[in-house]
A and B are shown apart, each in its own frame.
Chain A
Amino acid sequence: MGISARFAVLVTLVACVAGCAMEERVILLPEANGGPTSLDVHQGSHEVLLDRPYAATDLTVADPWPYQATAAEVQATFGDALAAQPVRAAHFTLYFNEASDDLTEESRAELERMLADVAKRPVRDIVIVGHTDAVGSDQYNDALARKRAERVKAMLVERGIAQTDIAAIGRGKRDLLVPTPDGTAEPRNRRVEIVVR
């Protein structure tokens, strides 16, 4: 290879390092509840463990380049992405009287809290899963679980939430919240679990 050809290769390489390479950066954020958190970053044979808030790494052409970022940097670089973050999903559990699809007194208050949460969301996606305790046959409990889920769905529709935004299903006595032998009456198992997204 002549000198000019070698020079051309070198120029291409330098140009690529400067221009073709994608600049990548990863920053770990604090947990909403302040708990511990970590993120494993693998780049080829290199591994960087980010394990405290704002621990960060640049991924350069050669090696990962760890550093400590700041909240201000996150806001400056990721403000648009963070502003587009949807409202977090919320989980609610409502309890029922024995062998019935009537909510317990306390759960009527919880229903109101759920409706307040739903009202904050511009686009709703609600999943209602009905459960029973272990008293009775599978067939009976499947029907009861479904009836409970449908009842809660009807309450939401009554309060102006579109039917199409709600899925209601029953799981009978298959997923007991409190494990019990078959045939055991357990109020905490007579419930619907609701996810609001």
Chain B
Amino acid sequence: MLRPIFAILLAFVVAAANAADIGQIKVSKGAVTIERAGQQIPGAVGTHVQASDVVRTGGDGSVGITMTDDSLLSAGPNSVLALDRYDFDDVTSRGQFDASLAKGSLAVVSGRLAKQSPDAMKIRTPSAVLGVRGTEFVVRVGDGH
């Protein structure tokens, strides 16, 4: 009886330790900020991202992020990209990655999560949900011009 409880507790501890670091900003140009729990953090190169972060770029901005499952997300100017949910088990490659583009442009190279399970990675736009079967695609959400 005790063993499963310990296993569950351990899983929580491991999850908590990993939660802080789900990816890293590798490329950052112009204005890039991260909105995290109501705070604005500069999105400089080397900054680690967390689940629920919202990454914004200005008119001169662009940003490239590598996630811990090796997926790559990069956004062009005037973009708002939310990392809504990220669970990744490094041993089994299982988990779930949901991100959404509220506006701007996004290039995606999916990683180990999508490779392991076609439903494991979803990108949302204001009107659609993209189920990632392949690896590389681009998404744009514009202001209707």
Q: Which A residues form the contact surface with B (CB < 8 A)?
A: 18-32, 36-44, 50, 59, 64, 74, 77-89, 121-123, 125, 171, 175, 195, 197
Contact = CB atoms under 8 A, between A and B. Distances in A.
B116 interface: no
A72 B129 CA distance: 25
Contacts, number: 159
B144 interface: yes
A7 B79 CA distance: 35
Contacts of B136: 28-32, 37
Contacts of A82: 74, 107, 138
Interface residues of B, number: 48
Interface of B: 24-27, 29, 45-46, 62-66, 68, 70, 72, 74-77, 79, 91, 103, 105-107, 109, 111, 125-145
Contacts of B111: 89
A97 to B, nearest CB: 26
B133 A40 contact: yes
Contacts of B142: 22-25
What DSSP secondary structure best describes chain B's contact surface? strand
B134 A89 contact: no
B3 to A, nearest CB: 16
Contacts of A18: 144
B107 A81 contact: yes
Ranked nearest first, the 6 interchain pairs of A and B with the lowest CB-CB distance are A37-B134, A80-B76, A40-B131, A86-B26, A81-B76, A89-B70
Contact of B127 (A37, A43, A87, A197): A43
A36 B45 CA distance: 33
Contacts of B138: 26-27, 29, 74, 77-78, 81-82
B57 to A, nearest CB: 9
Nearest to A17: B144
B91 A80 contact: no
Contacts of A81: 62, 74-76, 79, 105-107, 138
Given A39-B132, A83-B62, A86-B74, 15 more contacts: A19-B144, A20-B144, A23-B140, A23-B143, A24-B128, A24-B140, A25-B140, A29-B138, A79-B76, A80-B76, A82-B107, A84-B27, A85-B72, A86-B64, A123-B45
